[in-house]
Amino acid sequence: MLGRRLHQATVAVSTGRPRGVGEPLNHPIVLASNIRGEAGEYSRTHGTATWLGLEEAVGALEGGRAISFSSGMAAASGALFALSPKVLVLPTDSYLGVRALVADHVQQGHLRTRAVDIADTDAVVAALDGADVVWIETPTNPTLDVADVPRICAAATAQGVRVVVDSTFATPIYAQPLSDGATIVIHSGTKFIGGHSDLLIGLAVTTDDAMYDRLHQARLVNGSTPGALEAFLALRGVRTLPLRMERAQANAMKLVTRLRAHEAVATVRYPGFGAMVAFELKGGAAAADAACRAVKLIVPATSLGGVETTMERRQKYAGDAHVPPGLIRISVGIEHIDDIWDDLADAFGGTP
């Protein structure tokens, strides 16, 4: 646009907009399934201006071409469809929805898996031999483990193994895995990209034109298209993504310091960036459940990435039975940090 590389904050604001003289500043909500003309255009096949604006903006932030889907799980499904692996290396600690998706493929005989600790880079590299795809989630949900994406991508490329990176927690603000050699980056745009807990949408991004076509085909034949309103809201969310992440990360860092000093807290997990924090109370599952019931400002909820702070004890879900019983995952919002902390400390009881 200006003949030089723009900062992410500028990219988030300036891309994915109409450019013609007399056009609106923002893409409108295109509420049309059918399109007048003789070329056979149809929204499921060709998309709408609202989708395309969102895809342009997220693609620019990630450094690739984006395809939008109806949800983050639809994007994950689209990536598996596009890659069609026979042997998949998968993190043991990762989003339970993706693990359930992969388990279903395994049960149907479509693929085999090799489970790895994604933070153990040597183990990941060792598991690549004979694999087709390695699935990286970083930071992981809910344990917040961090993968060495550059090293894993380098090893995978050397062996002809393609790489998917679920970068939902990192967002394009703190990581751009395509530049490290990833084949596909996926996002649950429901979370930080949308940022207001009011939509479901997913995105997959790639620099490979053939893979882009495969992802487009996945969306087309599976019918996993985004809604018009959802695409509009997600693109609006992109505009403030850098600003929201800056505030949420600043809050998270302060919260981590206070959690580590609190007498009721046993352990704290934080990758050093982003808005996700996990911690355990000394009283285990009972204390964690009591804290989640006691908060008044913080929202006890399972989703995350909104402007509001949310928290929950994760081991209560069957898919997360392997995580520590008292682990609380908290998505830090943009409220004032003192208000977040006061609510949390009150919920812990005892000395703040």
Which residue type does 272 have?
G
Helix (H), strand (E), coil (C) string for 71-114: CHHHHHHHHHHHHCCCEEEEECCCCHHHHHHHHHHHHCCCCEEE
For this structure, is 313 an active site residue?
no
Is a pLDDT exceeding 50 seen at residue 251? yes
- In this structure, the answer to whether residues 223 and 252 fall within a common structural domain is no
* pLDDT for the residue 351: 45
The catalytic position among 65, 99, 162, 191 is 191
Alpha helices in the chain (DSSP H): 8-14, 43-46, 49-62, 72-83, 96-107, 121-127, 149-158, 171-174, 209-222, 228-239, 241-261, 284-294, 337-348
pLDDT at 3 over 80: no
Confidence bin at 41 (pLDDT 50/70/90): confident
Catalytic residue among 42, 44, 213, 260: 44
Residue range 223-251: mean pLDDT, rounded: 97
Structure tokens at 182: 């990833």
**3 part of a folded domain:** no
Residue 111 sits in the same domain as residue 73: yes
Based on the residue annotation, tell me whether 145 is a catalytic residue of this protein.
Answer: no
Confidence class of residue 339 from pLDDT cuts 50, 70 and 90?
A: very high
Q: What is the mean pLDDT of the chain?
A: 95
Residue 2 lies in a domain: no
Task: Provide the number of structural domains found in the chain.
Answer: 2
Residue tagged active-site, from 95, 174, 212, 270? 95
Is 1 domain-assigned? Answer: no
pLDDT exceeds 80 at position 38: no
Residue that finishes a domain, picked among 184, 210, 239:
239
Residue 59 lies in a domain: yes
Out of 178, 204, 239, a domain closes at: 239
Q: How confident is the model at residue 39 (pLDDT cuts 50, 70, 90)?
A: confident
Q: Are residues 332 and 211 in the same domain?
A: no
Work out the burial of residue 101: count CB atoms within 10 Å of its CB; fewer than 13 is exposed, 13-18 middle, 19 or more buried: middle
What is the model's pLDDT at position 47? 82
CATH number reported for the structural domain that contains residue 295 in this entry: 3.90.1150.10
Which among 93, 148, 166, 289 is annotated as catalytic?
A: 166
Residue 350: pLDDT band with limits 50, 70, 90: low
Domain membership flag for residue 257: yes
Residue 141 CA to its chain's centroid (Å): 10
Contact in structure between 332 and 277 (CB atoms under 8 Å)? yes
Q: Are residues 269 and 336 in the same domain?
A: yes
Residue 222 is predicted with a pLDDT of 94
* Tokens 């993706």 -> residue: 98
- The average pLDDT across 179-207 equals 98
CATH classification at residue 217: 3.40.640.10
Same domain, 226 and 339: no
226 in Cβ contact with 267 (< 8 Å): no
Please check whether residues 262 and 118 belong to one and the same domain: no
> Do 106 and 173 fall within a single domain?
yes
Same domain, 233 and 263: no
Predicted local confidence at residue 92, as pLDDT: 93
Query: Which tens digit of pLDDT belongs to each residue from 277-330?
Result: 999 999 999 999 999 999 999 999 999 999 999 999 988 887 787 889 999 999
In a domain, 128, yes or no: yes
Rounded to whole angstroms, how far apart are CA atoms 295 and 106?
40
pLDDT in tens, 114-143: 999 999 999 999 999 999 999 999 999 999
251 and 228 share one domain: no
Where in the sequence is the domain holding 63, given as residue range(s)? 8-239
Instruction: Report the pLDDT value the prediction gives residue 10, as an integer from 0 to 100.
Output: 97
| Percent of the chain whose predicted confidence (pLDDT) is above 70 | 98
Report the greatest alpha carbon distance in the chain: 72
- Over 60: is that where the pLDDT of 70 sits? yes
Residues 251 and 139 in one domain: no
Confidence tier at 2 by pLDDT (50, 70, 90): low
Is 42 assigned a catalytic role?
no
Beta pairing, strands 112-116 & 87-91: parallel
**What is residue 33's predicted lDDT score, i.e. its pLDDT?**
84
Same domain, 306 and 334: yes
Query: Given pLDDT bands bounded at 50, 70 and 90, which one contains residue 352?
Result: very low
Co-location of 168 and 260 in the same domain: no
95 flagged as catalytic = yes
Three-class SS of residue 40? coil
Domain boundary among 239, 274, 289: 239
Beta strands across the sheet bearing 327-331: 265-269, 276-281, 327-331, 310-313, 299-300
